[in-house]
Structure formats: C-alpha cells, structure tokens
Structure 1
Amino acid sequence: MHALPTTTSLRPKTYRIIVAVIGFVSAIGSIAWYQLNAGSQSVIGTDRIPFLEETSYLTLGLFIIGLALMFGGITWLLRAGTVRVNGGDSSSYLERLSWAINDRRSVIMFALTALGYGILFGLVSGTLVFEPGLALSKLYGVKVPSLVAVVCCDSFGQMPQLVAYVTENFAVRITPLNLGILLMVSWLVGLNAALASKVYSQKRRMFRAGWSGGLGAFVGLFTICPTCAGFPLLTVLGLSGSVGLPLAFSWMQLVLIFATVPILVATSVLLLRQVSDSNPCRLDNVRQTVG
C-alpha cells in the first residue's frame, strides 16, 4: 500500500488562500455595505448625493481590489501546485493543472486569451462602449474626459456604477455584477486556452474538449445583460425586427450565467485528462512548490 502523499511549503499555500479569501470578502462586503446604505433606496435627497458619489468611488475601488486579490490568489495557488513525495502513478487534477500552466507558453496563452476574451466580452455586454459615429459629450451632456458616478437605485450587484468617458467615442461602464462575471468567465476561458495549448504541444487530439470549450466561451458572451442574451438569439431566429421580443428573453441571463461556468469547468477537466494522457511520466518530481 502506498503511503499517503505529502505536501511541502504549506505556509506559502496558506498565504495564497488567505489572499483569495480576503479578496472575496472585500468584493462582496463592499457591495453589500453600499446596497444596505444607499443602493436599495428609491428616493435620495440631493444633499446626500455628494457623499454617495464619494462612497461609490470607495466601494468600487474596494470591489476591484477585492477581485484582483481573489483571482490573483487563486491563480497564484494553482500555479504553486502540490509536491507528491510518494504515491501512485496517478496525480491529482490540481497537480496536473499546476504542471500544465507553469511553462512560459501556457502562461502567455492564458494571459492573451483572457485579455482578448475580456475585451470581446466587454464590447458585447456594453461594459466597453465604442460609438465611432457619435459624440458622447453631446449625446449625454458630459465633459470628456470625465467620471460620472451612478449612485442609485437598483438591485444588488448593479450599484454603484461608474462611467468613464475616455474620448468622444469611447467610454467604460463599470457595474459590479457585470465586471465580476466578465473577469470570472474570461479567467476560465484563459485557463482552458492554457490547458489546450499544453495538450496541443503534446500532439494530442482534443476535439471533444475543444468543442465544449468553444461552446462555453460562446455562451459566456451573453451572461451579462438581458438584451445581450436575447438579441443575438433573436437575430439567429430572424426575429430581431421586433423591439419588444429581446426583452422577453431577459430570463436567459440567469440561465446562461449558470450554464457558462459548468461548461468551462467541465472543459478544464476534459483537458486535464488529456494532459495526464500526454504525460505518462509521473508528475511527482516535475517541479517544486513555489515559495
């Protein structure tokens, strides 16, 4: 009977977990605090608006920092992996994942794919607004460049909002829920791309994994806003001529959110199996845990 596998450098791993947990608590806590204080109110006195604007900047700052800590901590933890001092021929999924995403090619693929998909996601969702034929300053009566805070009133995750008018034709609209979904799906797509790169580098066939990964990315494009979820589907069906019909598909937002993440996670598992097959040697001594 093989002895139970042991791990090293547990303290650095604990730090990584703590960083991710702090990020999660900061992101969720800041939005919850703002919602309790202002976001759910239907009437806001004009005397409170300056205070709420300053609070919204602080809230979004903590939220963005929290997301960075959370995803950074998770990535840091996964790249650290575990060291099997002894054990059988099979390695855990986390060990395979750590081995697969630690080489330079996989890291570059992860970063470029996540960034590219995030930009595409942002354009489709309305997080990134590009209007080459319009002057945003005239359309919305704002100065360019400028920041405009939207302090109320909507459901949890939708407040506060911040619109950055960068140029006359380009603006960035930051909504907590939208930004969180964008980062989560883009991170998963980047992870799948890194794993796929590893599999392809080992000259393995992965048609099933590649297909499901593409499906997850496609579904992920439409998880942010109801209009984004409905309009492309109606266009495919030839029903885009009706203005009201896309709104009838608003429930698809929730369905697509819950569909995207499982598809991408399942794709990662399929790819990890391919990585295992393409690396018949044990992963026990491939790398040391990063301190």
Structure 2
Amino acid sequence: MAVNQTNKIVWLVDTIRKAGKISFVDLNQKWKENELMSDGIDLSKRTLHKWIDVISDTFGITVSNEGRGEYRYYLENPEDLHNGSMERWLFSTNSVSNALIENRCLHNRIVLENVPSGLHHLENIMEAMKHNRRLRIVYHDYFGNTDSLLIVEPYILRLWHQRWYVVANTLNTRNVRRFCLDRILELSIMNEAFEMPDDFSAEEFFRDCYGVMSDEGWPNATRVRLKASAFQANYIRDLPLHESQNEIERNNDYSIFELYIRPTYDFYQEVLRMGTQVEVLEPNDMREGLIDMIKIMGEKYTR
C-alpha cells in the first residue's frame, strides 16, 4: 500500500487530535517515529504549513497555533470530525487506510466487508454532476426483472449500507428516482446539459428518511415510538437510527425511543431485523403493517 499526501495529512490531523495540543518538536518526533510516513526524514515547517492549508480545503478542519509559549498546534473545530458530512467520511476512510498501512503485517487477520460492483461508474457520474451533463444508462430493475434504457440528470450520490446510489431526474418518466450503481449495466455521459434546480437540496431530500427510500408514494414523516429491550437499547443508543432520535424513557427492562421519520420499506426492514428485541408502539398503521408482515413470515415456517 503506497502512502500518498492524503494519508500524510490525515495522520497529521489524527496526531494533533489525539494530543489535544502539540509542539512542533513533539510533532516532528512522532513523524520521524512513523517510518512508513516519513522514511525517517524530518518534517519541515514549510511542509507542515502547506498541509495545514490542504487540511482546511479538504476536510474543513482548522489547525491553529497558540502563538505563545510552546507554540503548540491544535484543532479549532474538532467537533466537525463527528458530523455526517462528506469531509467527515473522507477523513474516516483515510484514517482507516492509514491504520491498515501501518499494520499491514496483520493482513491475514483483518477481514473487510466486500463492496458490490458498480464502483467503476462513480467517476463518470461525478464528472457528469460536476458539469451538469445528462447520463444515458441501461438499468436492471429487480422488481420487473427488466432492463431499461433511460436518460437521467444526476442530482445526488449517496452511500448507504455499502452500496452507492445516484438520485436523478428521469426524463423518460419525468420524476426523481434513485438508482443503485451495481444495477447499472451501461453508462455514458451525454453532451446534453441540464440545469440543476436552485431549490434542490440533498440534505432536504433525505432529511426525514431512514435510508435511501425518499421517492414519492411513501408516507410523510411522522412520530415513531420504538420500545427496545435494555440489551438492544444499547445498540440503538450507540448508533442512532435517525438524527431525530430521542430516548424518552429508560429503565432496567427497556427504553422507549422517539423518532420523526418517514416509515418507508427500508425502515420496516430495519425494525424487523432487530426481531423480538423491539416493538413499534406508534404509529398504529406501521404497527399493523408489521403485524401483517410477521404473520406472513410465520405462515412460511408453519406449512
């Protein structure tokens, strides 16, 4: 695994974050100790200040200096490393990359999750998005088991559960749809340009959604109350189901969580995945829907 500049600036942010505040002397010492990064060569102040500018541009993180005493470096806004932004994702991904590089002797003891195909389309989709160019795609639809030739205007890219999706305005059907990249059989960038709507926001598009299902036809956002066993509540608490999640009751036996969310099919799937450890208290129509699904599941095992 080669070490590139991104690996190095991520190392710098990580090192400063862990130290809280660190002098240039101590920073340089840690740099030289990491021979995979430094090859044992000193870190110059000129290079350091160049990387600080790159860190600001790439990750939106500001590295400052006390300007007195030991002239220690620190992160002005470390909390930005914990939000859901693209910069946070980039930092996390490269931070993991660094850890793997530094511990490559453990390659036969680290098992990674496989990412489905479709990644080869990412660069072309981003290129089309950058220049507002339409895409010609051949898409395989699982529901109809059909291949369709479509002309789309790419609005958003979203990563969800190890799969990439593009949300696009579909000229054939004149609506905004999501397409999973591993179901795109063919893709090409067209010369035809399109105008991105001024009022279209990726954040707003997915605001009340659990995952990627935000199409028209799903229910509007509503209050959902989940009762979780004390055991399962630990997992829901550590990894919230949605940004609106709030724990409104907690005791030794169970917790009740309240969310404001669209009860889409992927949210139903997540609730069912937790099995007997959770119960939907509200809304009643979601509760009834789950009862019907569970009955059908039960019938499959009693035939």
TM-score relative to the length of structure 1: 0.25
* Larger-Rg structure: 2
Considering fraction of residues, name the structure with more strand: 2
TM-score relative to the length of structure 2: 0.24
Considering fraction of residues, name the structure with more helix: 1
